[in-house]
Structure 1
Amino acid sequence: MSYVLFPGRHHLLTRFQADYLRQLAVDGVTVVWAVTSANHENTKRNPVPYHRREAAIERLSALSGLRSLVVPIFDTAPTDAFADVTLKSIAVATGIELTPDNTLLACSTPKVADLYRRLGFPVALVESDPGLRTTPERPWDVLLRLANGDETWRKLAHPATVDVFERYRLVDTIRTVVNDPVVGDEGGLTATRDYRTYAEAFADAAGRKWKAVKQYVQPGRIVDIGCGAGSLLELADREPALRESDLIGVEVARHLFQECVHKKAQGVFRNANVYFYQRNVLGGAIFADRSVDTTLTFALTHEIWSYGRQRESLLKFARRIFEHTAPGGVWINSDVCGPADRRRQVVLTLATDDGVTPAEPRSDLDSLTSDAVKAYLSGLSTRAKLEQFAKDFAFGCDFEVVGDGAVRIELGAAMDFLTRKDYVDNWLSETKEQFCGLSFAEWTELLVEAGFELDATSAPSRNNWIIENRIAPVASLSEVSGGSLDWPDTHLLTVARRPRNG
C-alpha cells in the first residue's frame, strides 16, 4: 500500500484525524487529501476557501510527520460516478493512478465509502471505525461549535487549523457565514433560481439602467451591491470620468460572483482597481465607515425585504449603507415598488380564454423539474395563474371571486401577481419575493429614518412596456364601485445623500 486517499471538504482538521492518519500512513505511505468543493467558499456548506484549507493541511502534515499531497476537486452535480471523477482529477493533477492495489480509502461518510468499495478499494472508516473505544466528534460538528461560539472547538481542532484560522482571521468569517439568516447553503438567496437566465436578463438591461443613473455617480470609491455578473461595472469601467475610481462589486450568489471573477481574469475590465467580494451586507460591515462615495443597488432591495425580515432588514441595510457612505456621498437605488395605496381594495379582471383552467392549483410544483414547471404554468389561463400564484406566494394573496374572471383583491397583491405572472422560468423563486412591500412614500420614510436626505430627482415610475405588452392585454383594474382604474407605479429610483455635516 503506497497511498491513503482521504477525500472530504476539510474545512476544519481535528486532532483525531491526525492521530488516525499517522497509524495508517506508515513506512513512507503518502496521504492524498482530495479537497472537495474546492471551487466553493463563503457559503454555509463551504465557509473556508480552498487555499486556506490547503494551508492547514500542509501545516498539519509538517507537524505530524505525514507525507501528503493536496489535490483540489471541483464541485460536480450529484453523481454515482463521483469516486471515478475524483480519481481522474487526482491523476490529471499529480500523474498518479490510485488503484485498489496501491491505495487505502479513509472516509467516514457511508455513501462515499460505498462508491469506492464498488471499485474494489479497501476502506478505513475514520470517525465511523467500529474498532474505536469512543466515537470522536466529526470535523463539521467541531466547526459548528466554533460557529456557535463554543470555545471548546480549539481543544478538538488540530493546532494547524487553529493557527490558520487565527492568522487569517477566519473565526469571525465562519461564524458570520454559517449563521447567516438570508443566504442558503450553497451561497445563494434561493436554491430554485436559474442564475443563467437571471444574469442574461440583467445584462440586457444594464445599458438602460446605467444611462438612467450615471449622472448621479460620484467618482472615488464606487460600490455596486448585488452586482450580479458585473454588467453595470463593465459600463462604469468605460466612463473616462471614472478612470481613477475604485470599482467594487459585492455579490452574495456564488454563481454570479464566480462569473465576475472570471470576467476580471479574462481582462474584461480596463481599470486596474476593480475588485469583487462575495458577501452578504446584512451579515456585517464590509467597508469602513465614511469610506464609500457612491453605492449602487439595482433590483436588490426587494430581495432583502423578501428573504429577510421585511422592513426591519431593509432599515438595517439602509443604515449600514449610511454608515459606510462618505459625507456628501450618495446611494442610488433602482428597484420595484408598491402602489401608493397598496392596501386599497380593487376589482381585477383576468383573461380566462388564454389557457387551461384546472379545477384547483397544484401543490407539488417543487417536486417537478424546472422544465415541467415552466410547461405547466405556460399552459394556464391568466385567471388560473392567479390561483397558482395565491397557492405559492410566500406573502399571501387573498381574494374574493366577484364574477367571471373577476376578483376583489388588494391593489398591492394584484400588482405583485401581474408583475410576476410571466416569470415561468423562475416561478418557485419569484413567488418567494414581494415586489410591492413598500410604496414610494414608505421608502422615503425609511431612508430619512436611516439618516439620508432624498434628492429631488427621486421618484416612482411606471414601466409602460410591461403594462402595454404583458399586463393590459390580459387584465384590467377597476374600482369596487365600478369605475375604471389606471395602472399604478411599478418602480422607483431614489438618490439618497448623506449630509456633508452628517
Structure 2
Amino acid sequence: METDYLLFPGRHHLLTRFQAEFLTRQARDATVVWAVTSANHENTKRNPVPFHRREAAIERLSAQEGLRSLVVPVFDTARTDRFAAVTVKNVEVATGLALTPENTVVGCSTPAVAAMYAALGFTIVPVEDDPALDVAPERPWDVLMRLAAGDESWQELAHPATVDVFARYRLVESVQAVVNDPVVGDEGGLTATRDYRTYVEAFAAGAERKWQLVREHVRPGRIVDVGCGAGAVLEMADRDPALRESDLIGVEVARHLFEECVHKKAQGAFENPNVFFYHRNVLGGAVFAPRSIDTTMTFALTHEIWSYGARMESLRRFVAAIYEHTVPGGVWINSDVCGPDGKDRPVRLRLSTTDGANPPLEDLPADVAGYVGGLSTRARLDRFAADFRFPFSFTDVGDGEVELTLGDAMDFLTRKDYTDNWLSETQEQFCGLEMADWKSLLTDVGFEVDAASHTTRNEWIVANRLAPVASLTRPDGTALDWPVTHVLLIARRPLNT
C-alpha cells in the first residue's frame, strides 16, 4: 500500500518475527511510526519493560530489517474514546509530523483501538488478526507470557532484536519476577481498590511520629526504607545532621507512590544528594547486594506481605531477604500492627446495634463507603465476615453478642472504621502474627531480637473506636482489657555472621 507513514501503536514490550515480516511487507518505502504506549510505566505486570529498553529493541529491529523508523513515547492516560487522537497529537508534538488519513495507514490488531483510528478516517491494516492468514500468529503479549512462564519457545517467536536486548539487560529475569509476583497488582500496586491519595496524606501526617519512634535505633551508613510510601520518613532522616553522610534509599512497589517520591526529589525536597528511590518489590528478587545495608526500616508493611502473599511463606522470604542484605551488626526496624497475645483463645464480644442501621446482609451497593458507614457496629461485623479474605467465623449468642477468637475480634475492631477503603482493607489481616510468632521467625532466620522490641496498644483507638461501641469478655463473662495492637521490632544481624 502506497503511503508515507505506517503508524504502529502498542506497548511493544516484545517484538515478534511476524511483526517484522508484516512491517517489511507493508511499509516498503514508508516510515514506521512506533507509538509506544504506557511509556511512563515499568516494573508492573501490565508494563514490565521500561520504555528505553523497548525503544532499544525497536531501533535494533529497524536496523536489522532495513526499516526507517521513528519511536514516539506515549504516556499513559485515563481511559478515553479520544485515545487515537491523543496519540496522533503526541506524534506531532514529538516529531513535527502531522499524520493524516491521506498520508498514513494504521497497523493494529486490537479491535477497540482500531475502531478509534477508523473513526478519525484512517485506513486500518490488520496485523495478527488479518483474516487472510491461514493461521493466526501469536501476539506479542502471548509470547511475553511464554517467557514469563519459563517456556523457552518464546525465543523462536520473538524477533532477534528483542532476544538480544533481553539477554544483554537481563530482562528475562526481571519480567519473570514482575509478572509472576504474587503481591504486586497489574498496575504496580497492592490492590486496585486502594485510594493512594488517602495513603499519601496519612504517611505525611504520621512521618514525624514514626521517625521519633525509630530514630535512636538507626545506624548511619546506607539506610533503606522499604515500602517508603511517598518518602515522608526519609524526609525526616534527611533533616537529621547526624545522617548527612548517609545514603538514604527508598524502595516502593506501588507506582503511584514511587512517582510521588521521584517528583519530590526533583522539586528539591531533599538536601542530601545521596537520596535514591527504587521502584521494586523485594519479594521479586534481591534489590541490594548481600551485607550492604546498615539500617532497614519498614512501617506498616509486613502485614501486607503476609496478606497479599502466601502468608508465612512470603513473610519468611521477605525477612530472609532483609537479613541477607544487612551488614553484620546492622539493624532492621519494623513497626507494624500485630495480633494480641493468645490470639487463638475464645472471647465474647458485645457490639452496639443502635449506632447505625441493621439491614439483612445483601450485595454491596456502588457507594460502598456510604453503605458500610451507615451500618451499626454489629451489622458491620456481618459485612466484614462476608468481605474479609481470610477465614472468619463467629457464633451469634444474641443481643449483639458474639463468640469468636481474640485475633478475629481484633481484626474486625481495628478495621471496622476504614470505610473509605473498605474493599482494600478487608483484603488484609492485621492479626496474623503475635509477638511470640515474630520472635520465633526472626531468630529462626538469624536475627537477634533487641530488648528494645515491644508491643503497644493504641490508646486513642481504644478510647475513640472500641470502648464506645464494644466490650470484651472471656466466654464466662469475666471482663477482659483491650489487648495490644502494634509492635516495634528491633532485629540485629550478629557481628560474627
TM-score w.r.t. length of structure 1? 0.96
Which residue in 2 is equivalent to 1:6? 8
- Offset at residue 497 of structure 1 (A): 0.4
Secondary structure of 1:63's aligned partner: helix
AA in 2 matched with 1:97: A
Secondary structure of 1:44's aligned partner: coil
Which residue in 2 is equivalent to 1:349? 350
- Offset at residue 140 of structure 1 (A): 1.1
- Offset at residue 420 of structure 1 (A): 0.5
- Offset at residue 396 of structure 1 (A): 2.5
CA distance in 1, matches of 2:378, 2:83: 46
Are positions 1:47 and 2:48 aligned together?
Answer: yes
8 Å Cα contact 1:452-1:499 kept in structure 2: yes
Are positions 1:15 and 2:17 aligned together?
Answer: yes
CA distance in 2, matches of 1:310, 1:174: 23
- Offset at residue 295 of structure 1 (A): 0.6
Q: What does 1:201-240 align with in structure 2 at a 5 Å threshold?
A: 201-240=202-241
Which residue in 2 is equivalent to 1:460? 455
Which residue in 2 is equivalent to 1:394? 389
AA in 2 matched with 1:337: C
Q: What does 1:53-68 align with in structure 2 at a 5 Å threshold?
A: 53-68=54-69
8 Å Cα contact 1:363-1:391 kept in structure 2: no
CA distance in 1, matches of 2:76, 2:160: 28
- Offset at residue 93 of structure 1 (A): 2.1
Secondary structure of 1:60's aligned partner: helix
Moved more, 272-281 or 456-465: 272-281
CA distance in 2, matches of 1:480, 1:151: 59
- Offset at residue 22 of structure 1 (A): 1.5
8 Å Cα contact 1:11-1:46 kept in structure 2: yes
Which residue in 1 is equivalent to 2:282? 281
- Offset at residue 356 of structure 1 (A): 0.7
Which residue in 2 is equivalent to 1:431? 426
CA distance in 2, matches of 1:435, 1:446: 17
CA distance in 2, matches of 1:4, 1:280: 38
Q: What does 1:121-140 align with in structure 2 at a 5 Å threshold?
A: 121-140=122-141
Secondary structure of 2:429's aligned partner: coil
Which residue in 1 is equivalent to 2:475? 480
Q: What does 1:255-404 align with in structure 2 at a 5 Å threshold?
A: 255-360=256-361, 362-364=362-364, 368=366, 372-404=367-399
CA distance in 2, matches of 1:175, 1:312: 19
AA in 2 matched with 1:13: L
Q: Kindly provide the CA deviation profile for residues 352-406 of structure 1, in whole angstroms up to 9, marking residues without a partner as x.
A: 111111122x3345xx3xxx11111111111111110010011122111123111
Moved more, 228-237 or 475-484: 475-484
CA distance in 2, matches of 1:425, 1:83: 35
- Offset at residue 94 of structure 1 (A): 2.2
CA distance in 2, matches of 1:242, 1:67: 52
Q: What does 1:102-251 align with in structure 2 at a 5 Å threshold?
A: 102-251=103-252
- Offset at residue 155 of structure 1 (A): 2.2
Which residue in 1 is equivalent to 2:33? 32
Q: Kindly provide the CA deviation profile for residues 44-69 of structure 1, in whole angstroms up to 9, marking residues without a partner as x.
A: 11110011111111121122221211
Secondary structure of 1:328's aligned partner: strand
Which residue in 2 is equivalent to 1:450? 445
CA distance in 2, matches of 1:320, 1:295: 11
Moved more, 488-497 or 461-470: 461-470
CA distance in 1, matches of 2:379, 2:318: 37
CA distance in 1, matches of 2:466, 2:391: 21
AA in 2 matched with 1:222: I
AA in 1 matched with 2:68: R
CA distance in 1, matches of 2:312, 2:453: 20
Which residue in 1 is equivalent to 2:414? 419
CA distance in 2, matches of 1:358, 1:86: 49
8 Å Cα contact 1:251-1:257 kept in structure 2: yes
CA distance in 1, matches of 2:383, 2:491: 38
* Runs of at least 5 residues in structure 1 that lack an aligned partner in the other structure: none
Alignment RMSD: 1.2
- Offset at residue 132 of structure 1 (A): 2.3
AA in 1 matched with 2:424: S
Secondary structure of 2:348's aligned partner: strand
Q: What does 1:70-85 align with in structure 2 at a 5 Å threshold?
A: 70-85=71-86
Q: Kindly provide the CA deviation profile for residues 412-459 of structure 1, in whole angstroms up to 9, marking residues without a partner as x.
A: 111111111111111111001000011111111111111111111100
TM-score w.r.t. length of structure 2? 0.97
Secondary structure of 1:275's aligned partner: strand
CA distance in 1, matches of 2:15, 2:215: 48
Moved more, 57-66 or 226-235: 57-66
AA in 1 matched with 2:431: C
Moved more, 214-223 or 16-25: 16-25
- Offset at residue 297 of structure 1 (A): 0.5
CA distance in 2, matches of 1:428, 1:15: 43
AA in 1 matched with 2:310: R
Secondary structure of 1:485's aligned partner: coil
8 Å Cα contact 1:350-1:383 kept in structure 2: yes
Q: Percent identity?
A: 68
The counterpart of 1:492, out of the listed 459, 467, 487, is 487
CA distance in 1, matches of 2:420, 2:94: 38
- Offset at residue 147 of structure 1 (A): 1.4
Moved more, 142-151 or 101-110: 142-151
AA in 2 matched with 1:110: P
8 Å Cα contact 1:44-1:186 kept in structure 2: yes
Secondary structure of 1:425's aligned partner: coil
Number of residue pairs the alignment of both structures matches = 495
Q: Kindly provide the CA deviation profile for residues 313-367 of structure 1, in whole angstroms up to 9, marking residues without a partner as x.
A: 111111111111100000000000001011111111111111111122x3345xx
- Offset at residue 133 of structure 1 (A): 3.4
- Offset at residue 195 of structure 1 (A): 0.9
- Offset at residue 19 of structure 1 (A): 1.6
CA distance in 2, matches of 1:199, 1:221: 24
CA distance in 1, matches of 2:32, 2:318: 46
Q: Kindly provide the CA deviation profile for residues 197-253 of structure 1, in whole angstroms up to 9, marking residues without a partner as x.
A: 012111111110000101100011111111111111111111111111111111111
CA distance in 2, matches of 1:337, 1:264: 33
CA distance in 2, matches of 1:480, 1:455: 36
- Offset at residue 177 of structure 1 (A): 1.0
Moved more, 394-403 or 222-231: 394-403
AA in 1 matched with 2:126: L
- Offset at residue 35 of structure 1 (A): 0.6
CA distance in 1, matches of 2:114, 2:490: 56
